[in-house]
Amino acid sequence: MRRRVVAGNWKMHGSTATIERLLDALIQLRAPQVDVLLFPPIAYLSAVIERVRGSELAVGAQNIHAESSGAFTGEVAAEMVKDLGATHVLVGHSERRRWFGETDAIVAQKFSAALRAGLVPILCVGETSEQRDEGCAEQAVMMQLDAVIAAVGVTALRRAMIAYEPVWAIGTGRSATPVDAQSMHSAIRARIRALDAMVADGMPILYGGSITPANAAALFGGADVDGGLVGGASLNAEQFENICKAA
């Protein structure tokens, strides 16, 4: 049976004081059979890792560079993140693709770098509102997925997760319906199953896109929806806990 996973992406939010208060509450969180992951801003990564040590929470990075070292001012290598004690990393988030020009090729390189360093990459895929309106949402998502499979091979996905995040539902208050989410998750799993059934059946696929306590249970009810990648609600301890319990 696949593990249920809920990941909180804090994006570029927080301060030492607000994060300490949030962690005070989250360390008490109990959600049996759910893996709870936190993705703080890189500036607070080390502090969060130390603060949650010994708890049931795991911590990951929001981004890494594709190279393990070099003259890349302002960047962070997967090996550095691993050295701090992080276990996971987001790869290809739609905001990285949109604002920082990350192509499918760059995302594939970062995915590979995460695996080399021993991190669990969470590959983010999703379509824009224009792509959905034009009827090519599934095609757009599969292109993003196929680029990574072509680079690392399908068996490498055994050490990874996928997060389906419809771009039009991120930070907008809009959310895919449970039917929409299940349909895309099913298509993603089918694509992988065509190459390796064991990988497909064991891989957690998360939904990301304006998840709230009110819609979490319905979204997570899909047979192929194994949890969520939560944005804004992960900054509120009570809301995040309720989403975890819904999973």
Are 11 and 233 in contact by the 8 Å Cβ rule? The answer is: no
**One of 95, 102, 127, 165 is an active-site residue; which one?**
165
Residue of 198, 215, 228 whose CA lies nearest to 39: 228
Annotated catalytic residue, options 65, 88, 93, 185:
93
Would residue 50 show up in a list of annotated catalytic residues for this protein? no
Which is nearest to 159 in space by CA: 96, 207, 111?
111
Question: Can 165 be counted among the known catalytic residues?
Answer: yes
Q: What's the alpha-carbon Rg for the chain, to the nearest Å?
A: 17
- Whether residue 38 contacts residue 48, with contact meaning beta carbons closer than 8 Å, is answered with yes
Q: Which two tokens stand for residue 212?
A: 């709230």
Q: How far apart are CA 49 and CA 6, in angstroms?
A: 17
Helix 137-152 crosses helix 104-117 at what angle (to 10 degrees)?
A: 40
The catalytic residue positions are 93, 165
